[in-house]
Structure 1
Amino acid sequence: MESIFGGKFEKQFINDHANLLEKNTKIDSELFSKYSVKVGLRDIDGWGVLVGLTEIGEVRSYIMDEKDLVPVPGKLIYRGIDINDIVAGFLNDNRYGFEETIYLLIFGELPSENELENFKDVLRSYQNLPEYFARDIILKAPSKDVMNALARSVLALYSFDDKADDISINNVLKQCLWLISCLPAFAVYGYQACSHYHGRNSLYIHSPKPELSIAENILHMLRSDSKYTELEAKILDLSLVLHAEHGGGNNSSFVSRVTTSTGTDTYSAMSAALGSLKGPKHGGANIKVVQMFEDMKQQIKNWDVDEEIEDYLFKLLNKEAFDRAGLIYGVGHAVYSISDPRAVILKEYAYRLAKEKGLEEEFELYSKVEKLAPEVIAKVHKMYKGVSVNVDFYSGFIYRMLNIPIELYTPLFAISRIVGWSAHRMEELVNAGKIIRPAFKSVVEQKDYIPIKDR
């Protein structure tokens, strides 16, 4: 496809004026401290600034002990229920849990067996895309980025909704369930289009099957032969459960609430959240983990020698290895310090999958890095709190073992997190809050207008 960019005059204009823009936009960093600006909506000690209330999700990482904050193993709570109890509940019953988790997060309580089956029927009724949607919206203008394809598909669905701008709870609930049901097909078909038109690979489009769970349908639609093992589907389902919600303070959920507060439609709010999640500081972190480990495996000769691993980790922090960003990806979190409960759960199942795939040696490398990285970070940086591996550390490894293309890592996050976005959108609407509008202080000097002939 021919680009509209690239003319000689256009290039020169952009280069010159980008420099001008930067010169006139840069703000003195000392002013942020002077005016006590909560950069990133976080206090200087790293804690988030309180901007709202929610009953949907909660993240706990410390306790109060005589007015002191004491770090504790992290907890993730959905609608008042510990994520460990939710996971144990459906795994002990040997069933898939994502659909039950959707019900819990949206409606605020666990469903009975009959309620869950009725809910699954509703999701199944929504999962087939409108006629010709895949051909006309997804395949005819394939994107090189699946997250872009997702956002475009979500916005396009607006045109198929006769009540698209109706923000009554009944209508928004229907819209959210429709999007939750369609997003797996949007993501997989978006990838297939990208793979075919940009990667010159074979194109195959499998329709979702009503008898399958959401996790099973993703693998069915993604793989050319539609085959998968029970363990593969169960682990993908588990990953969807663990990524579905993380409190209203995560960037994309906050975006969904900010846009909802304006009174905009569901499709616009969800596409804005998708744009937030696409950012590598948010949804793309597990991609960096996988890429980092691929580089690590090339650089380290003996995976079982701690000293060699430590040496590589020091090089990462000193900007001498991988992307030279000075980061050990997958280690550390804005809230958790002792442990991320999602990573603790995923590690167990990453081992099971590694054993099935014959990748125990690589799993041991991940385990060693998990142990050594916090020690190396502590030696290099002064920290106000400890660090541990986060959910991205093992999720990318799991996706790679599932032979999921790297282009789908962040879209899988979106398939899961749209549940949390939906719950937060409806909580914002039910409580009819004011438009969310934080304050910014202008620090530019007053200037006189100069007539054009005198400039």
Structure 2
Amino acid sequence: MGYNKQWENYTEKYQKLCMENDVIPDSLFKEYGVNRGLRDINGNGVLTGLTNISRIDSFCVKDGKKVPCDGKLWYRGYNVTDWISNIPKDSLGFGKTAYLLLFGKAPTAEEEKEFKELMGKCRALPTNFTRDVIMKAPSKDIMNSMTRSILTLASYDENVNSNDIGNVIRQCVNLISVFPMLAVYAYHAYNHYERDESMYIHRPDPRLSTAENLLMLLRPDKQYSFLEAKVLDVALMLHMEHGGGNNSTFTTRVVTSSGSDTYSAVAAAMSSLKGPRHGGANIKVMEMMDDIREHVKDYEDKDEIKAYLTKILEGQAFDQKGLIYGMGHAVYSLSDPRERIFKGFVEQLSAAKHRERDMTLYNNIEELAPEIIAQKRKIYKGVSPNVDFYSGFVYDMLGIPVELYTPIFAVARIVGWSAHRLEEIVGNGKIIRPSYKSVMEEL
């Protein structure tokens, strides 16, 4: 179904009706104490549940007052900064971290080996699935293609509707394992059928990690360096989980609470993540950086950079939205711990890829943007670069096409969604059903 002449007769009329009848004055939200977006006047999320899976620290209490502090992210009681730094430099940590989030404990060496082997065995799509499902309706929107594949996989599951914990674990581990193929194969289909580029489909290697398989599946020669895999592995670990309140994870818990199946819950989370307000932040950063490169000649000239950033913030440049993308976060205040962890790996990769000049530009923007924002805007909790400030840069250096940026986010976050789905089922809670106050006028 596309846009046609018939719709031209209705669009303006229907749009006018919606604009007249669906607007609710801001004053009513204040009158009834409704927190828009489930966030209070200070930007804090309204408490809607409890979780053991992760925690985000962005404030601390000093002298009885709540004050901003450097951010911390915890996975199952482990500080993520410590967790990642303790993974050996010659190892990749996706499987180990997935085990931790799913089952609530750090795996022993034997458990880690067993789980990685299990994931390797699960990296197999049903016979002819790639041809009959992924290749049939290629789309530039890889997230939509993946969501269609997820829902179609349900028809291959003989026990699709059982929410028995063991069955849900099986479904979740299977999905975590095949997500790299769903993403990369969907891109290859689009690249071939819509862009007339060459087609190549590699089989996953059960011995390789998620990051290694992603790079191998994506590249025609299957080749990648360990540093490339290591940096991508760190990116995936940092994006795996971020509390129960982010939009896609909350969606997972809402759908799970209704008693729906795993595939439906994950598909709903995908639909949330693809929204530009959620999973597309690194794409906006990359678009902004391309614009900055066009207008800033000297990447070491802080005055020139500052002047152009000021134009962006004042809505006079880039997309005229008045935003410096990659700066600030809905939860963190003084710093995003994921960005601080990631930056060291980004610097290593930029040196290996001879992108030091770009790294200089990123460093200068990281230094200058918070100062400019603090001068121009009222900031109650501070502003700092978030992990998405660098993730797009990393994907670009790895040769990953922009169409796969958000899908790679999903390849990581499926682990967190799965953990929260399991916690919601084990907790045997009620269906999540918040209330809306009706302000409708009777006629």
Query: Normalising TM by the smaller chain, what interval?
Result: over 0.9
- Please list the CA deviations of residues 278-330 of structure 1 after superposition, one character each: whole Å capped at 9, or x if unmatched: 01111000011011001100001111111111111111111111111111000
Contact 2:282 2:389 in 1 (8 A): yes
Matches within 5 A, 1:9-48: 9-48=6-45
Q: Superposed, which structure 2 residues align to 1:322-401 within 5 Å?
A: 322-401=318-397
TM-score computed with the length of structure 2 as normaliser: 0.99
How big is each residue's C-alpha offset from its partner over 1:384-442, in whole Å with a ceiling of 9 and x where there is no partner? Answer: 11000001001111110001000000000000000000000000000011111111101
Amino acid at match of 1:227: Q
Q: How does 1:102-117 map to 2 (within 5 A)?
A: 102-117=98-113
Q: How does 1:407-422 map onto structure 2 within 5 Å?
A: 407-422=403-418
Q: How far 1:22 sits from its partner (Å)?
A: 1.8
TM-score (norm 1): 0.96
Aligned residues of 2:99 and 2:107 also touching (Cα < 8 A): yes
Q: CA deviation at 1:66?
A: 3.1
Mapped to 2, the partners of 1:411 and 1:63 lie a distance apart of: 34
SS in 2 for 1:90: coil
Between the aligned partners of 1:28 and 1:224, the Cα distance in structure 2 is 55
- Map of 1:228 onto structure 2: 224
Out of 63, 74, 84, which is 1:66 matched to? Answer: 63
RMSD (Å) for aligned C-alpha atoms: 0.9
Q: Does residue 277 of structure 2 align to residue 281 of structure 1? A: yes
How much has 1:34 moved relative to structure 2?
Answer: 1.2
Shift of 1:70: 1.5
CA distance in structure 2 between the partners assigned to 1:143 and 1:337 by the alignment: 38
- Spell out the pairing of 1:162-173 with structure 2 (5 A cutoff): 162-173=158-169
Q: Are 1:53 and 2:53 matched, yes or no? A: no
Aligned residue in 2 for 1:134: 130
Instruction: Give yes or no for contact 2:117–2:207 (8 Å, CA) kept in 1.
Output: no
Q: Does 1:88 align with 2:85?
A: yes
Compute the displacement of 1:7 (Å).
Answer: 2.9
3-state DSSP of counterpart to 2:86: helix
- What corresponds to 1:453 in structure 2? none
SS at match of 2:88: helix
Q: Which runs of 5+ in 1 are unaligned?
A: 448-455
Matched residue, 2:298: 302
What's 1:433 paired with?
429
Superposed CA deviations along residues 131-174 of structure 1, whole A, max 9, x for unmatched, are 00000010011122000011111100000000100011011010
Amino acid in structure 2 at the alignment position of 1:420: G
- Cα distance in 2 for partners of 1:345, 1:396 equals 15
* Offset at residue 14 of structure 1 (A): 2.0
Alignment match, 2:208: 212
DSSP 3-state at the match of 1:416: helix
Cα deviation, 1:105-149, whole Å, max 9, x if unaligned, reads: 000001111111111111111111100000001001112200001
CA offsets 1:21-64 (integer angstroms, 9 cap, x no match): 12111111111111111111111011111111000011001111
Give 2:44's aligned amino acid.
Answer: W
3-state DSSP of counterpart to 1:91: coil
Aligned equivalent of 1:123 = 119
Residue 214 of structure 1: how far off its partner (Å): 1.0
2:402 — aligned with what?
406
Of stretches 146-155 and 28-37 in structure 1, the one that deviates more from structure 2 is: 28-37
Letter in 2 for 1:245: E
Matched-pair contact (CA < 8 Å) for 2:244–2:250 = yes
Q: Deviation per CA, 1:307-360: give whole Å up to 9, x if none.
A: 111111111111111111111000000111111011011111111111001111
1:91 Cα deviation after fit: 3.2
**What is the CA–CA distance in structure 2 between the aligned matches of 1:242 and 1:350, rounded to whole Å?**
13
- Between the aligned partners of 1:382 and 1:91, the Cα distance in structure 2 is 42
Q: How far, CA to CA, are the matches of 2:88 and 2:146 in structure 1?
A: 30
Corresponding residue to 1:189 among 175, 185, 206: 185
Corresponding letter in the other structure for 1:213: S
Structure 2 unmatched runs, 5+: none
- 1:149-200 alpha-carbon deviations (Å, 9 max, x no partner): 1111110000000010001101101000010001100000001011111111
* Alignment partners' CA distance in 1, 2:133 and 2:26: 44
Distance 1:16 1:292 in 2: 36
Aligned to 1:450: none
Letter of the aligned partner of 1:61 in structure 2?
Answer: S
- Matched residue type, 1:31: L
CA–CA distance in 2 between the matches of 1:74 and 1:358? 31
Code of the aligned partner of 2:242: H
Alpha-carbon separation, structure 2, partners of 1:7 and 1:221:
39
CA distance in structure 2 between the partners assigned to 1:135 and 1:236 by the alignment:
28
Identity of paired residues, percent? 51
Please state if 1:254 is matched with 2:250: yes
